[in-house]
Structure 1
Amino acid sequence: MKLTSFDNIYHIHQQSNVKRWFIILALICLVTLFLPWTQNIKVKGTVTTLYQDQRPQQLHSPIPGKIIKWYVKNGDFVQKGDTILQLAEVKEDYMDTLLVQRTEQQVNAKKGVRDYYEAKVGTTADQLKALASGRELKLAQLKVKISQLNNKLQAEEAELLAMTNELRLSEDQFNRQKKMYDEGLVSLTQFQQRNIGYQNVLAKKTAIDQKLAQTKQEIVAVEIEQNATIQDYTEKLSKTEGDRLTSMGQIEGSTGEIAKLENQVANYKARQGLYYVVASQHGQIVQLNKGGIGEILKETESIGTIVPSEVNYAVEIFVKPVDLPLLKVGQRVMCVFDGFPAIVFSGWPTTSYGTFAGQVIAIESNINASGLFRALVVEAKGQKPWPPQIKVGAGVQGIAILNDVPIWYELWRNVNGFPPDYYTVKNEQKATNDEATK
């Protein structure tokens, strides 16, 4: 009987394949060293939005008031303009239910006062015209009277001149008659007759002198009356003009008070519109921190938060200062959102599963309190869209894609502790082209 145990245990007589498998494995490793490897930077971040109006907004009470009715509860979705709650006044200055109507009555009363003063200004203007016309008429009358008196004065001066000549002649005749009487050439009767004639002429001249003086006095009196008339009418015109200016001042004052009251009416109406706190945009009501009916709210006090439902999401990533020079605007970033399963191959991002492509659009120049720089990433156009289930504040793992290098180079770089390669001009130009195609 032949034993087969020895043949089954010892195989020294059989051919070995170890050398062949070693060579094949070495070739595979050598080929693997020349396969492409994508350098990257791993960063952490959170979901955010680029626009301030799409961030969670605080709901504030625009006025101090008392809550009298709630229209929503935590978690409700509202549309822009939907009522959140209703307030009632707590300030005594606004508790009058007819406050607007009463203030409007004050406005109408002030307008009536202004209309009265406007009418008074019109009447005063007519009075000024009448006084000006009366003054001109009176002055014209006095000028006519002065002209008449001047004519009378000229006639009396001519009469006085004639009478002076006649008196001179009569005096000369009287002197000759007296000389002749002294010589005895004429009788006493003739001398007395000549004397009587002389005295009559002298009396006439005296009368004319008195008339002339009286006429001059009348002219002076009329001139005084003219000046008095000017003074009187000037005083009347000044008083009337003062009344007109006072009325105009009252009109301006009334206009200012009317504007102030109309402003109060507008404010009261606007305040009545603030009794209802409404949603500023579409979104979800969360974190309501006031409860019950009758609770008092202070002015600008927070009521809760509204989270917008229409958001253009972005990712904010935080980069170490040593990696900051490797980031460029337009650079590709693969995002892994918390809660979404992903299989990531660090060196081959195109073969990873569950990642979403993004693009750097801004890199902030200031460092934060944690010693990191912030960069903003948005959804890459033409790539797999980001999941709609993400929310602002959710965590994100980011992989910033750098250059493609052989595996042997990446191993050599890590062994020597060298940083990843800087972005090349080619990649920067590609990022610029991507931006232009948006």
Structure 2
Amino acid sequence: MDHLDKLSETHLYSLRTLKTPGVGRTVAKVLIVLTTILIVTLFLPWQQNIRGKGTLTTLSPKNRPQLVQSAIAGRISSWNIIEGDYVNKGDTLMTIAEIKDKYFDPNLVPRLMEQLEAKRNSQDAKSKKATALRNQINALEKALKAKTSQAKNKLRQAVLKLQADSLEFVAEQVNYENATSIFDRNKNRYEAGNITLTKFQEIESKYQMSAAKVLKAENEWLQRQADLANAELELTSIEADYTDKISKAQSNLNETISGLNDTMGEISKMENELSNVRIRQQQYQIIAPQSGYVVKAIKMGIGETIKEGDAVATILPESEDLAVEMYVKAMDIPLISSGKKVRVQFDGWPALQFSGWPNVSVGTFGGVVAIVDRVQSKNGMFRILVKPDPEDESWPEQLRLGSGIKGWVMLNNVPIWYEIWRQMNGFPPMIYEDGEVPETAEKK
């Protein structure tokens, strides 16, 4: 018993002499607090976002930097501006001189106008000739109708005369046959002594007169046949003659019309050439297409030649139409639509960004997705255009086009633990209502 008492006193005394260090207690308390804070923090809301990079641009293509090009080839004569100048629309940037020998003549426009006037006079002359030929053709056609009508009347008269002479010839033949019969009978009677010589001679005279009438009637009948043939020939000749004249006049008319059309084509060509020369002379002064700042002169030396379409300067239009051109991954593009909120950080502009807590971010500016491209742009990325958010702070005035940016397209709120889990697994953001986590994620 005494031994046990001695042992207990020894052990208790050792225990009483041992003390827990204060630093250890402090560390334990700090770890407990940190662990508690960490656990609580894991359940704080975190706003998912899609990150992207890009540059500052404008929403409208007309407000982006543009190249001023020369419409014609020429030689630089003088510059009217220097780099950095502000120019108004229509101001002359530079003057060029002609280098093509076709346009060297200082009186080229007046001479082209003289040639054009001569061609127009030629056109008037050919037009009048065509009118005269048309009148000639009309006159020939009327003459053909008149001559044809006259020849047809003459032909009808010849047919009627032929018919009349034919009937007369037949009648005379009948009379001749009768006279012949009477002559033969009386001849026998005269030879028989039944009639006197005087009577027989009278009958013979009538017989010879009848024979003469038959011959005359036959001659007239044959003459009428010849007249009919001549009338038919005359009708055919008139038709052939006037058809030939009308055909020649028509041929001349067609030739004149062809020449008139060629002249009209040449006039159109000359008018086009004259207009081109006038417009070309207006291109000797290269003017500013819109108001803005001359950023850079590309062709500089006096006397330097330029070709058609060569750029001579770059102009930055004056506009407040700023936008952000941002590129995002293809896997994130289905989650982005017009109207989504965006936080933008500009290069050279100090900022402290908490992507999941935009409300506590400093130095970033609000934007709204305006356009989402429907095709890939470069490196498999998709481009989106972001315009300033009218409900947020205005973008800085010191921004310059082409400056780099970083952007975050803001999605929905999730717990921090879920966002950590998503990032560790490499999953894309999910679209669901704020604070509502999928059941599968909660189980995992």
Answer yes or no: same fold by TM over 0.5.
Answer: yes
- State how 1:71-220 maps to structure 2 within 5 Å: 71-220=80-229
Q: CA–CA distance in 2 between the matches of 1:321 and 1:362?
A: 15
Shift of 1:278: 0.8
Q: Is the 8 A contact 2:88 2:288 kept in 1?
A: yes
The one-letter amino acid paired with 2:272 is: N
Distance of aligned partners of 1:413 and 1:126 in 2 relative to their CA distance in 1, 3 Å threshold: closer
Q: CA–CA distance in 2 between the matches of 1:42 and 1:200?
A: 140
Identify unmatched segments of 5+ residues in structure 2. 1-19, 436-444
Distance of aligned partners of 1:165 and 1:29 in 2 relative to their CA distance in 1, 3 Å threshold: closer
The one-letter amino acid paired with 2:93 is: I
Which stretch shifts more, 317-326 or 196-205?
A: 317-326
TM-score by length of 1: 0.85
TM-score by length of 2: 0.84
Q: Is the 8 A contact 1:39 1:420 kept in 2?
A: no
Structure 2 residue matching 1:287: 3-state secondary structure: strand
Structure 1 residue matching 2:229: 3-state secondary structure: helix
RMSD of the TM alignment (CA)?
3.0
Q: Is the 8 A contact 2:414 2:434 kept in 1?
A: no
Aligned residues: 414
Q: Does 1:229 align with 2:238?
A: yes
Q: Is the 8 A contact 1:37 1:405 kept in 2?
A: yes
Q: CA–CA distance in 1 between the matches of 2:137 and 2:38?
A: 116
The one-letter amino acid paired with 1:216 is: Q
Q: CA–CA distance in 1 between the matches of 2:283 and 2:97?
A: 10
Distance of aligned partners of 1:362 and 1:198 in 2 relative to their CA distance in 1, 3 Å threshold: same
Q: Which residue of the partner structure matches residue 430 of structure 2? A: 422
Q: Is the 8 A contact 2:413 2:434 kept in 1?
A: no
Shift of 1:336: 0.8
Q: Is the 8 A contact 1:317 1:398 kept in 2?
A: yes
Counterpart pick for 2:412 among 386, 403, 409? 403
Distance of aligned partners of 1:127 and 1:290 in 2 relative to their CA distance in 1, 3 Å threshold: same
Q: Which residue of the partner structure matches residue 305 of structure 1? A: 314
Q: Is the 8 A contact 1:282 1:310 kept in 2?
A: no
Structure 2 residue matching 1:219: 3-state secondary structure: helix
Q: Is the 8 A contact 1:139 1:226 kept in 2?
A: yes
Distance of aligned partners of 1:129 and 1:26 in 2 relative to their CA distance in 1, 3 Å threshold: closer
Q: Is the 8 A contact 1:325 1:422 kept in 2?
A: no
Structure 2 residue matching 1:37: 3-state secondary structure: strand
The sequence identity of aligned pairs, in percent, is 38
Q: Which residue of the partner structure matches residue 65 of structure 2? A: 56
Structure 2 residue matching 1:401: 3-state secondary structure: strand
Distance of aligned partners of 1:205 and 1:384 in 2 relative to their CA distance in 1, 3 Å threshold: same
Structure 1 residue matching 2:297: 3-state secondary structure: coil
Distance of aligned partners of 1:384 and 1:123 in 2 relative to their CA distance in 1, 3 Å threshold: same
Q: Is the 8 A contact 2:72 2:308 kept in 1?
A: yes
Q: Which residue of the partner structure matches residue 354 of structure 1? A: 363
Distance of aligned partners of 1:329 and 1:135 in 2 relative to their CA distance in 1, 3 Å threshold: closer
Identify unmatched segments of 5+ residues in structure 1. 1-11, 428-438
Q: CA–CA distance in 2 between the matches of 1:341 and 1:62?
A: 45
- State how 1:326-341 maps to structure 2 within 5 Å: 327-341=336-350
